[in-house]
Amino acid sequence: MTDARVTLDTITSLAKRRGFIFQSSEIYGGLASCWDFGPLGVELKNNVKNLWWKHVVRMRDDVTGMDSSILMHPDVWVASGHVGAFHDMLVDCMNCKTRVREDHLENGKCPRCGGSEFTEPKKFQLMFKTHAGSTEGGTMDIWLRPETCQGIFVDFKLMQTASRLKVPFGIAQIGKSFRNEVTTKSFIFRSREFEQMEMEFFCKSDEADQWYEHWRDARWNWYIDHVGVKKENLKLAPHAPENLAHYAKAAVDIVYNFPFGWNEIEGVHNRTDFDLKSHQEHAKKELLYFDQETNEKFIPWVIETSAGVERCCLVAMCDAYDEDEIGGEKRTVLRFKHAIAPIKVAVFPLQKNPELQVPARKIYEELNDSFNCVFDVAGNIGRRYRRQDEIGTPYCVTIDFDSLNDQAVTIRERDTTEQVRIGMDKVKSWLLEKLL
Ligand code: GAP
């Protein structure tokens, strides 16, 4: 294992070459800050989402899940504060004409040319606007949601009644969000279309500090224990009181040491009763919670955990990336945690001939309903191992000529490259024990 940090260019080119992530609409010259996930990328993304869902929703009996609509009534975004306050202040550099966020100037200088003269700052709305309805029936201006949590707040009553959960409890969802971001570099770190994994935990106001700490710690541990991020590459960055969002009483970012510096992957916020109160006022619908034990009616406070799926994928790739030497040959390896690896097992017949291919295919088909597997016959065995190392496949199963006599196969482990010989009838249970 080496300590060298990977560059963003290396990750970007590996991601493209091996089918993780491509530029959107590439044949038309691409669309800035929009990305397509290829065969391995979609598996990686699904693994991240499933892992989050497992630990935030499925394994807890105080959190339930939902999937709300991307398009919502436009008043939602007035109540949430986005129509009034979700904008960047932009300036144009007088020298090179680059438009840049005022808060992204480097010591008051243009990050592109170093110029120090700018136009007056202008407001730039970050939500994408679109229209619902045909022109005949009249159209309505609506927004693409810039965060998924508002779907949770506006359905709070319906969800609480349907789930019969009592405060304290949480509602979680994963879904697309859209922001017309001005700064569009750093690969998938900041996109215009991305997915969020958000959880809103409703509690009594006097228990909010305790739940805030609980969720901050739970989310920190998730990155280390389940995504496999190295502790030294993670930090907690609490927001100073003067930098808190308009709705927050306390906030902390979980930040990662990306190749381009420490940046946020997830935010944990104490949102107070701001959102439910504001929707209650704007929608003129009561959003009080009735506590049957105490006969009290109140608006719960909310602790939010909000993570980006793509940012988490980028963290997983950067943190797993390694280069070492095997038998004097340099290799690239993604040391993914098993749950994160897009492919769990690769099955190889040593050579292409049917004598080996038929039993190899049989093993592949047996494994395929339990794990995501690939079958590969192309190239020498060393090259096939390297191909799997580079995409982070934990195990490779090889069927050779001895297999025909001893009914056993070789299983090679990615990180150590150690090999064990296992009877064909035990391959599945051996892998199940290692992988699940
Ligand atoms: N509901 C609170 C909220 O949306 P946020 O800090 O604006 O808070 C939460 O976003 C998370 O969503 C971020 O930590 C990040 O992981 C992800 N995110 C936000 N904007 C993003 C973008 N333009 N591209 C990719 N991920 C983004």
Tens of pLDDT, residue by residue over 16-60, are 999 999 999 999 999 999 999 999 999 999 999 999 999 999 999
The packing angle between helices 8-17 and 309-320, to 10°, is 100
Q: What is residue 121's predicted lDDT score, i.e. its pLDDT? A: 87
Work out which ligand 1 atom sits closest to the CA atom of 306.
9
Do 180 and 126 meet the contact criterion of CB atoms below 8 Å apart? Answer: yes
Starting at the edge strand that comes first in sequence, how are the strands of the sheet with 193-203 ordered? 63-65, 169-178, 193-203, 301-308, 261-272, 250-258, 234-238
Distance CA 294, CA 161 (A): 18
- Joined together, the tokens standing for residue 255 give 């930040």
Q: What is residue 137's predicted lDDT score, i.e. its pLDDT? A: 67
Out of 200, 306, 312, mutate this one to test ligand 1's pocket (max ligand atoms within 8 Å of CB): namely 306
Q: What is residue 4's predicted lDDT score, i.e. its pLDDT? A: 62
Do 249 and 360 meet the contact criterion of CB atoms below 8 Å apart? Answer: no
For ligand 1, residues with CB inside 6 Å are: 147, 149, 179, 181, 190-191, 194, 196, 198, 264-267, 304, 306-308, 310-311
Work out which ligand 1 atom sits closest to the CA atom of 309.
16
Q: What is residue 435's predicted lDDT score, i.e. its pLDDT? A: 95
Give residue 146 CA to ligand 1 midpoint distance, Å.
9
Q: What is residue 288's predicted lDDT score, i.e. its pLDDT? A: 96
Do 289 and 300 meet the contact criterion of CB atoms below 8 Å apart? Answer: yes
Do 151 and 69 meet the contact criterion of CB atoms below 8 Å apart? Answer: yes
Give residue 357 CA to ligand 1 midpoint distance, Å.
47
SS (H, E, C) 182-208: CCCCCHHHCCCEEEEEEEEEEECHHHH
Q: What is residue 136's predicted lDDT score, i.e. its pLDDT? A: 65
Atom 7 of ligand 1 has which residue's CA nearest to it?
147
Q: What is residue 426's predicted lDDT score, i.e. its pLDDT? A: 97
Distance CA 434, CA 429 (A): 9
Give residue 284 CA to ligand 1 midpoint distance, Å.
29
Residue type, 317: M
Out of 196, 222, 309, mutate this one to test ligand 1's pocket (max ligand atoms within 8 Å of CB): namely 196
Atom 9 of ligand 1 has which residue's CA nearest to it?
306
Do 251 and 238 meet the contact criterion of CB atoms below 8 Å apart? Answer: yes
Strands 250-258 and 261-272: antiparallel
Q: What is residue 211's predicted lDDT score, i.e. its pLDDT? A: 98
Atom 20 of ligand 1 has which residue's CA nearest to it?
190
Distance CA 397, CA 194 (A): 36
pLDDT for 100-125, tens place per residue? 888 888 889 988 889 999 988 888 88
Atom 15 of ligand 1 has which residue's CA nearest to it?
308
Q: What is residue 351's predicted lDDT score, i.e. its pLDDT? A: 93
Out of 271, 303, 311, mutate this one to test ligand 1's pocket (max ligand atoms within 8 Å of CB): namely 311
Atom 2 of ligand 1 has which residue's CA nearest to it?
306
Q: What is the mean pLDDT of each run of 10 residues along the chain (436 residues)?
A: 77 97 96 96 98 98 98 96 85 85 88 89 89 77 96 97 96 97 87 98 97 98 98 97 87 97 97 96 96 95 98 98 93 98 98 94 96 95 96 98 96 97 97 93
What secondary structure does DSSP assign to 345-407, as a single string? EEEEESSSSHHHHHHHHHHHHHHHTTS-EEE--SS-HHHHHHHHHHHT-SEEEEE-HHHHHH-
Out of 76, 128, 147, 200, mutate this one to test ligand 1's pocket (max ligand atoms within 8 Å of CB): namely 147
Atom 27 of ligand 1 has which residue's CA nearest to it?
308
Residue type, 112: R
Atom 21 of ligand 1 has which residue's CA nearest to it?
190
Q: Which residue do the tokens 């907690």 mark?
A: 236
Atom 14 of ligand 1 has which residue's CA nearest to it?
266
Q: What is residue 208's predicted lDDT score, i.e. its pLDDT? A: 97
Give residue 110 CA to ligand 1 midpoint distance, Å.
25
Work out which ligand 1 atom sits closest to the CA atom of 149.
1
* 279 three-class SS: helix
* 146 three-class SS: coil
Give residue 308 CA to ligand 1 midpoint distance, Å.
6
Would you tell me how many other CB atoms lie within 10 Å of the CB of residue 398? Answer: 20
Work out which ligand 1 atom sits closest to the CA atom of 266.
14
Atom 22 of ligand 1 has which residue's CA nearest to it?
190
